[in-house]
Structure 1
Amino acid sequence: MRRALLHVSLPFALCVAVANTRLFEEVAVDLTYTHYAERRVEYLPAFLAMPCNCLINLAYVCMGLYWLRGHGGAREPEQCRYMREVFALMAIFYAPVQWTRLAELRRAPAVLDQWFTLPIFAWVPAWIGLIERLPDKLGVSHVAVLELASVLSYGLALVHERGFEVALGLHVALAVYKGLRVQVTHGDRRTRGYLLLAVVSCAGFVVLKLLDHWLVRFQLFQRFTGHFWSKVCDVLQFHFSFCFLTSLTHKTRDQKL
């Protein structure tokens, strides 16, 4: 776990430092509570100003800790354990970034909220690359290049107002494509179910966030708004991605041994 923690925390700290410079001063990010359909509760402290959208971040931490503590079995190869631990730590580190964005409404946390989404999605095709190469070791350079390209792709936000959305769309498309391809070649009925649930959760994450203000006209979405439910879907897509990738890792490894 030390290696995974080091490989997540160092890039995290570097991105935090860069985000607090003037580099992303022109990036289009929302810095007001009116961006969200959930009403601010004035008498609560800033870190609970929007209780539902703030507290949902605890679900990321709980889910990350759940997958960090194991579920790989005693025979889990070291490289598979590393992929799982990094992915879990990404979820844990991402939660306080989102929470800080809501509490402070500053540019740096808003930028980091967008920025960190990209390497998280990129970890899915990186893990699938390991599955496709089993039982051989995954080249470190392959993962490093993929993650570096993902981090640098946020530069699209500097050249166009919708640059982040374009980068995110490409990441989602690549993750889904890689997931479908590895399911066809190595999957079974159980992994197909996990993949379907992950894709549906991903769709809910995107659609519910986009429709946040429109959905508030319905009673169901007035306290627990579309943005809140999109975060629930985000946690679920994390979880089902773990289920899909860990199941497929062990299945493929057993077949090739």
Structure 2
Amino acid sequence: MSSTPLLKVDAIDASIGAINILHGVSLSVASGELVTVIGANGAGKTTLLRVISNVLKPRAGQVEFDGVSTTEVDAYRLARRGLIHVPQGRQIVPTLSVYDNLIIGAECSEIVNSDDFIESLEREYSRFPVLRERKDLAAGSLSGGEQQMLAVSRALMMRPKLLMLDEPSLGLAPQIVRIILNALRQLADEGIAVLLIEQVAMAALSVADNAHVLRNGKIALSGTASDLRRDQALIESYLG
């Protein structure tokens, strides 16, 4: 794990319309680190990712990715620099095959028609073997868990330096959640920075290095994931 943060979020305030959502939020993520932000519905978790991705401009504060202010770089250019966001709802293309959805990711990183593409494709098929089995099927025909695996693999075909995920466990069976979270832990161990937004606190804390509890748009609690996991009553009190 690198000691130098790849992502630095410093005292971010953000609003949607006239409603103030985030209040002085600060955190960092280093390469090889898995950081989770947990919180209840309405805590501001999705808004935080939108600010980091420069989809939403903050009212105050600074976000820096790989040494560059994200407010100075268009969202699609940030993706090409390696800041990849897997949103809620997965946003796969349901009418395209699993294979074609993976090609979309590869086109972002410009590795299509190269040996790197074949290697990356095989890596994703090994990570989630069901994608190989379903590669010729329409993505919309997959189960919810399989679609989430596809969304993660498509994002990885983009060659992320930082992978951000917005509640990947939403609506999934516990055994599928475990497969996906274990894959995220492996990615961090391989050197990718991972920022995981979750409501399922204990599952997220079981794979994270560090954690923040977001409540009413503010960081209410921070620490190592192992320390926070040992005090489940405290976490539940913050999550309401």
TM class by shorter chain equals under 0.3
Higher relative contact order (CA 8 A, sep 6+): 2
- Structure number with higher strand proportion: 2
Per the normalisation by structure 1, the TM-score is: 0.26
TM-score (norm 2): 0.27
Query: Which one has a bigger Cα radius of gyration?
Result: 1
